[in-house]
Amino acid sequence: MQALMQRLKANHHILEKLFIFFILAQPFLDLLAYFSIPVSNPIRLLVIPIGMLYMLSYPDKRWSRNTCIYMAVLAVYFAANFAINMIWKDPVSAVEELTFILKTFFFITALLVYVMIFRHLGENRDWKVTIPKYLFINTSVVSVVMLIAELTGTGKRSYDYLAKQGHSGWFFSGNEISAILGMGFCGAIIYYLFVKKGMLAQVICTALVAVMIWAMLTIGTKVAFGAAFVVLGFAFVLLLIQAIVKRNNFIQAGVVLVLLAITVFVTPEMPIGNNLGLSVEMANEKAQKQEEALATTPLPEEVEEGEVPPPGSVRQWSSWQLMALNGREEYFGTVLYYFEHAPVIQKVFGMGIGGNYTGEKPRIIEMDILDWFFGFGYLGTIILILPLLFVIGSILVFIFKQRFRTLNATALFTGAGACIGLGAAFIAGHILSSPASGFYLALLLGFLYGLLRQKPEKFFQ
């Protein structure tokens, strides 16, 4: 055993390279899943055992010990959660429960692994260029695939609701690919703006950025749309400041301004323009119908035990709540009812995927924080958010300890990508329990952690 540990520690750098190259595999794994080639989930799940091997081999003994203890505690908790729900839930699907657990386990493992990798790489400057470059490649691949799907008319609709427009290309979930493009665009813009390239390469990159923006508006979801506007606006402001202070990059600032202006101009004609107006109308109509229904039939005070409440009738929602929930109010209201009537042990350890559902298949709310809370209970939620709190808390400590001197352009855009991912986890889901998009949030948080613990550099370096 000791000889094995020594061999692992001697070759831990190989595992680091493997995890760095794994970044480039992400869009191709998603494409394989779309075409029903069942390799993406098994390959991604390998991150859990390989990640634990990396933690065991990590050169810093304190980090190795603490992360291994945490992973062991998390594994014990997941086993308890699974066992409790197999006993208490009826109906219950062992496959669905286990899948929900493993997908969540993947995100936590990836987060810890990438934090540890970028912490260990330290002053090696290559990774500070490699990660934005890989994010640019991934985002370009996704966007070009969406363009091909558009030209061939083979894109998968983002919404089942026919009045809403947009497609996700050859990728399964519109929400997932929206989050991936939103986070990936932040990394892509770092490579596009701040990594030196020849004139031809810059022209090609500009064309690819334009395709990325088109793809983010074509999906028809709010996350990608918001990310496009925020990142382009932020980039223009930074480039304008750089142009004024250093008297260069005027052309680049002008190009970004043109891209931003075109984005504003075409938005009303794109799927997202249709969907934004439709969301407001639908929310107002639902709120008005609820008020009219209440005038004649009050909300039921109590539902007989074992009876599923009619979807959406257990709560009255305001129009802004309906806007935020974006069609998820029925699932939220129903799962909240399950939680309120669940035994104490399920409130502590969680109700698993979909709560104590009565239908054939569980349905999640698709708002990750809520799904974590209802699925894993009070205890599980506390255990799961500890790594996030540690990483985010450490990032804030680095910022204030260095008096904001470590906040260069790369760190700011990386932070914007992480905020987009975290925000999507609160309002749109498909992040914390979705390996495809959760991977990017874990990567960006780890990358930001590594950037901000370094010595201060020039802002635009």
pLDDT tens digit string along 347-398? 999 999 999 988 778 888 888 999 999 999 999 999 999 999 999 999 999 9
Task: Note the pLDDT of residue 332.
Answer: 81
Rounded distance between C-alpha atoms, residue 128 and residue 47, angstroms: 22
Can the peptide bond before residue 268 be classed as cis, meaning omega within 30 degrees of 0?
no
Place of tokens 């599923």: 308
DSSP state at residue 359: S
Length of the chain: 461
DSSP run (H or E) holding 265: helix 250-266
Region 144-154: mean pLDDT is 94
Residue of 178, 253, 191 lying closest to 223 (CA atoms): 178
Rounded distance between C-alpha atoms, residue 175 and residue 433, angstroms: 13
Region 54-59: mean pLDDT is 92
Burial 269-305 (b: 16+ CB within 10 A, else e): ebbbbbbbebbeebbeebbeebeeeeeeeeeeeeeee
Task: Note the pLDDT of residue 306.
Answer: 46
Task: Note the pLDDT of residue 125.
Answer: 72
Rounded distance between C-alpha atoms, residue 213 and residue 390, angstroms: 33
Residue 303 reports pLDDT greater than 90:
no
Residue 180 reports pLDDT greater than 90:
yes
The percent of the chain in helix, strand and coil, each rounded to the nearest 5, is 75, 0, 25
Angle at 209 between CA 441 and CA 43, to 5 degrees: 40
Rounded distance between C-alpha atoms, residue 93 and residue 69, angstroms: 29
DSSP run (H or E) holding 57: helix 47-57
User: Which tokens belong to 134?
Assistant: 């890989």
Rounded distance between C-alpha atoms, residue 438 and residue 296, angstroms: 45
Residue of 411, 431, 447 lying closest to 114 (CA atoms): 447
Task: Note the pLDDT of residue 86.
Answer: 95
Rounded distance between C-alpha atoms, residue 261 and residue 15, angstroms: 44
Residue of 439, 407, 408, 394 lying closest to 421 (CA atoms): 439
**End-to-end Cα spacing for the chain:** 45
Half-sphere exposure of 80 (CA within 13 A, CB side): 16
Rounded distance between C-alpha atoms, residue 269 and residue 156, angstroms: 20
Q: How many CB atoms lie within 10 A of CB 54?
A: 25
Decide: pTM greater than 0.75. Answer: yes
Mean pLDDT for all residues in the chain: 86
User: Which tokens belong to 79?
Assistant: 């086993």
Q: How many CB atoms lie within 10 A of CB 335?
A: 25
Region 288-317: mean pLDDT is 52
With a pLDDT cut of 90, the percent of the chain lying above it is 58
